[in-house]
Amino acid sequence: YRFTDQFTGEVFGSFYANIRPTYQGRRYHQRYEDLVLGAKGNWQMNKNNGFAFSYTFDNYAKKDDYNLVKLVEKVYNNINHSARLYYTGTFGQHTFNAGVEAVHESLRHYMMKDTGMVSRTQFSLCVQEDWKINNALNIVVGLRGDKSPNYSFHITPKVSALYRPLSFLTFRAGYSQGYRIPTLKELYQEFNMAGMITIYGNKDLKPEYGSQLSASVEYDRNGLNLSLSAYHNRFKNKITYEYLAPGVNYDMHYINSDNVKTTGIEATVNYRMLCGLSFMGAYTYINDYNVKDGYNRSWIRPHSAKFNVTYKRKFGKTTESIALNSQWMSRITRYAYDSDAKAYVRYVYDPRTICSLNLRSELPRGINLGFMIDNLFNYHDKASDSDVQLPLNGISYVLTVGINLSDLFGK
């Protein structure tokens, strides 16, 4: 809603509910509910100065609803309040941004003592200076500070540069640091995934520190886009997860890794033709060094590639499109600690290639129809590969219908 030419406001909300049937041997069924409410405001004081405010409330609950008696138990509840205030000012070739954030989170879980609740409030401050030196060169410098109970105040910097010597050629480079406090879920939660595995929290987790160095070059001209990017990340106390008893079950818990380094290179090509045909290809190499006790426990596949070809054309008042997507991922070798054998065990997971075919029809009055064949060539994962991805066991067919009510009933 526009109150004045300088001030606008927005409110939003959503509610989600899902009921699962009663599992065999139980006397109750489970209900899942999520309520989200929020508001946004923008105050443009003048041409060069403005404030933006936002607040979001998110209440997610899991309940056990008994079938024979009027009893509902709230066994899981995660409540988040987040508020943000930002200022943006433009002064000639400089754009200055500053902001403050506050997040309060509460977590109740049935695995906690007496179904107790834990809560935490985190505050953040940030400033950023965007300096447009000339039409070809731009530099951004920023600082962020975070504070939460039981953790000291920590500042992280960032700096980046963009250089465009020609209209179709762009160079980018940057360095940044990161800092992340363990979430309440990572500290306390015990999450049961449909009875298959349980992920346990770890109250002894330390904050995660990271730094990243990145660079890229991009060419964009006459429908052809080429890009090459590289990055190197280093982490201290990176928060990840590991098996509790490999070979016995899939239960995991959160841990801090000793030494994590990730180096990646990505090359992409996109070409769009005037006839409506477009091609996309990408290759990614990642060297993920996630070592504990001398063994690399990384879950990341080192090589992957994507390819897409799409044909889109307008016929009268309708627009039709067909797209073929494919994704290839290399094999992965990793180690996991076996608590029974008291030794690290080597695991090898096979490469995989997944393809899909998508058809889409955009009809008048805001009606869209879609049909997808996923896993087009009927690829089957091995049972052991479920550790590193959601297993595929055959072809899937998906039909979608989308209706834009404003277009359907509008003039």
Residue 132 tokens read as 């447009």
Does residue 230 sit within a domain?
A: no
Contact between 93 and 110 under an 8 Å Cβ cutoff? The reply is: no
| pLDDT at residue 280, as a whole number | 97
The reported pLDDT for the residue numbered 103 is 96
Q: Is 249 within a domain?
A: no
Q: CB–CB of 131/160 below 8 Å?
A: no
Whether 177 and 156 have beta carbons less than 8 Å apart is answered as yes
Domain assignment of residue 28, yes or no: yes
Question: CA–CA separation, 168 vs 160, rounded Å?
Answer: 20
Rounded to the nearest 5°, which phi and psi values hold at 188?
-125, -25
Burial of residue 181 (CB within 10 Å: 0-12, 13-18, 19+) is buried
In-domain check, residue 82: yes
Would 32 be classed as within a structural domain?
yes
67 occurs within a structural domain: yes
Who's near 279: CB < 8 A, 6+ residues apart? 269, 270, 271, 307, 308, 309
User: What is the count of structural domains for the chain?
Assistant: 1
Q: How many residues does the chain have?
A: 411
Which has the closest alpha carbon to 218: 264, 175, 162? 162
Residues 6+ apart with CB under 8 A from 293: 258, 337, 344
DSSP per residue, 136-187: SEEEEEEEEEEEETTEEEEEEEEEEEEEEEETTEEEEEEEEEEEEPPPHHHH
Say what the pLDDT of residue 391 is: 62
Residues of the chain below pLDDT 50: none
The confidence score (pLDDT) of residue 338 equals 75
Distance, in Å, from the CA atom of 400 to the CA atom of 371, rounded to the nearest integer, reads 6
Q: What is the pLDDT of residue 320?
A: 95
The whole domain housing 25 covers 1-112
Say if 68 falls within a structural domain: yes
Asked, for residue 391, whether it belongs to a domain, the answer is: no
d(CA 217, CA 173): 9
